[in-house]
Chains A and B, each alone.
Chain A
Amino acid sequence: KAGVTQTPRYLIKTRGQQVTLSCSPISGHRSVSWYQQTPGQGLQFLFEYFSETQRNKGNFPGRFSGRQFSNSRSEMNVSTLELGDSALYLCASSLQPGQGNTGELFFGEGSRLTVL
């Protein structure tokens, strides 16, 4: 079974630009969540999608947005990039809540964004 796939793995942008990151979950997983990881703030929850609906959102500005498609693939977008947005962005998928789901997350390898 293929794991969670994130693309691109590495990217460099300049301030003011925007970026789109993609995440393909494990087959059969319908919940996708996104996290930002930085040395200073650690791992922070961005948002979670299930059946194309955002169900939970972390404490990030509106520049951070996402969506989920009918095949459960998800994208996140960051507009008007700032230097502080440099981070490893991790995507995780999981089974549908309930139905014996114990909350285990399956992570991709991340997209490392550098903002210059």
Chain B
Amino acid sequence: AQSVTQLDSHVSVSEGTPVLLRCNYSSSYSPSLFWYVQHPNKGLQLLLKYTSAATLVKGINGFEAEFKKSETSFHLTKPSAHMSDAAEYFCVVGASGGSYIPTFGRGTSLIVHP
């Protein structure tokens, strides 16, 4: 069984300040972990993924995430927020390879103030 918890439903930051979106997971398997972003009325776009290689994963648009097995966390960060980062972010857990049903977090809405 697997689950994912996004610890904040909303995060509000000012443009130019750091972003931290928190995600904790549980999985019976060695997990694959993903962060996706969804802009209004759009599908989900992959930001980055962890698949048991480097624990610090760099993604698109300056985002990165660190896999911490001891803390079962996969938090998403960005040094400096941009207005265009305002969107919904989803942390997703999937098993490595094979057929699987991905588990989505409930999402974190990132609000960026000018």
CB distance from B111 to the nearest CB of A (A): 16
CB<8 Å pairs between A and B, sample of 16: A4-B43, A35-B104, A42-B104, A42-B105, A48-B101, A90-B44, A97-B98, A97-B100, A98-B97, A102-B51, A102-B97, A103-B34, A105-B36, A105-B46, A106-B46, A107-B44
Chain A residues with CB under 8 A of B28:
none
Chain A residues with CB under 8 A of B44:
90, 92, 105, 107
A96 to B42: give the CA distance in the assembly, Å: 25
* B98 near A104: Cβ-Cβ < 8 Å: no
Q: Size class of B's contact patch? A: 20 to 34
* B97 near A55: Cβ-Cβ < 8 Å: no
* B102 near A109: Cβ-Cβ < 8 Å: no
- Given A43-B90, A97-B97, A98-B97, A105 contacting B42 (CB threshold 8 A): no
Chain B residues with CB under 8 A of A102:
32, 49, 51, 96-97
Task: Check A25 for interface membership: any CB of B closer than 8 A.
Answer: no
Q: Which of B45, B96, B101 contacts A58 (CB 8 A)?
A: B101
CB distance from A39 to the nearest CB of B (A): 10
* B46 near A104: Cβ-Cβ < 8 Å: yes
CB distance from A37 to the nearest CB of B (A): 9
Task: Check B41 for interface membership: any CB of A closer than 8 A.
Answer: yes
* A108 near B41: Cβ-Cβ < 8 Å: no
* B107 near A104: Cβ-Cβ < 8 Å: no
Chain A residues with CB under 8 A of B41:
88, 109-110, 112
3 tightest Cβ-Cβ pairs between the two chains A and B: A107-B43, A103-B94, A43-B104
Closest to A44 in B: B104
CB distance from A8 to the nearest CB of B (A): 14
Chain B residues with CB under 8 A of A90:
43-44
